Amino acid sequence: MPDGSPPQSTDANIEWTIFESYTKMAWEVTNFYAKGIAFFLAINAAVFGYVLQTNLPTELQRAILGFAAVVGLLFLLCSIGYFVWAAGVFRTVQSTFLGTDVQLSEKYGVALNFARGRTLFGLFALGALSLNVLVIVAHVLLLFTR
């Protein structure tokens, strides 16, 4: 099992630095994206609550819900773009790190950790995209039932 310290050879230190920088970047961007999802859901909860609780004219309710659905679709497209980008970064880091020193990769269990990371990332992507689609469907359903 890895002890968290970088390997000692010069080439391995460069690989370790690349791995750490990509990992830090991926975590920071993912954290930012997760906060974006939380903000998106909070805003949508406020929009739903406002539209459902107030006696607005039907045309205004439809306009608000239509705008929210369009914003949801744009957020969904941005989410898909993010996941495509992040998957590319993940593949780059994996090929860079695994393609050099086989013994080091085996020692630190890198292949297994990348497999776990891909699984975790895939589940996160599925959950985030499902939430986006659910919000869009809710907007559209309210739009057509009002």
- pLDDT for 29 equals 80
Instruction: Tell me: pLDDT of 9 over 60.
Output: no
pLDDT class of 4 with cuts at 50, 70, 90: low
| pLDDT exceeds cutoff 80 at 8 | no
Q: Is residue 10 part of a domain?
A: no
d(CA 134, CA 41): 11
Q: What is the pLDDT of residues 106-127, one digit of tens each?
A: 777 777 877 888 888 888 888 8
43-90 confidence digits (pLDDT tens): 888 888 888 888 889 888 888 888 888 988 998 898 898 888 888 877
pLDDT tens track for 128-144: 889 888 888 888 888 88
Q: What angle do CA 124, 128, 132 make, to 5 degrees?
A: 170
Q: Is 126 exposed, middle or buried (0-12, 13-18, 19+ CB in 10 A)?
A: exposed
**Assigned domain for 61 exists:** yes
Q: Which residue has the higher pLDDT, 104 or 73?
A: 73
In a domain, 85, yes or no: yes
This prediction has a pTM of 0.69
Are the C-beta atoms of residues 66 and 51 closer than 8 Å to each other? no
Range of the domain at 135: 15-145
Q: How many domains does the chain have?
A: 1
Flag whether 5 is in a domain: no
Give the pLDDT score at 58.
87
Classify residue 119: in a domain, yes or no: yes
Q: Is residue 44 part of a domain?
A: yes
In this structure, what token pair is assigned to residue 13? 């230190």
Do the beta carbons of residue 129 and residue 83 sit within 8 Å?
A: yes
Q: Is 135 among the domain residues? A: yes
Span 82-104, mean pLDDT? Answer: 77
Is 76 among the domain residues? yes
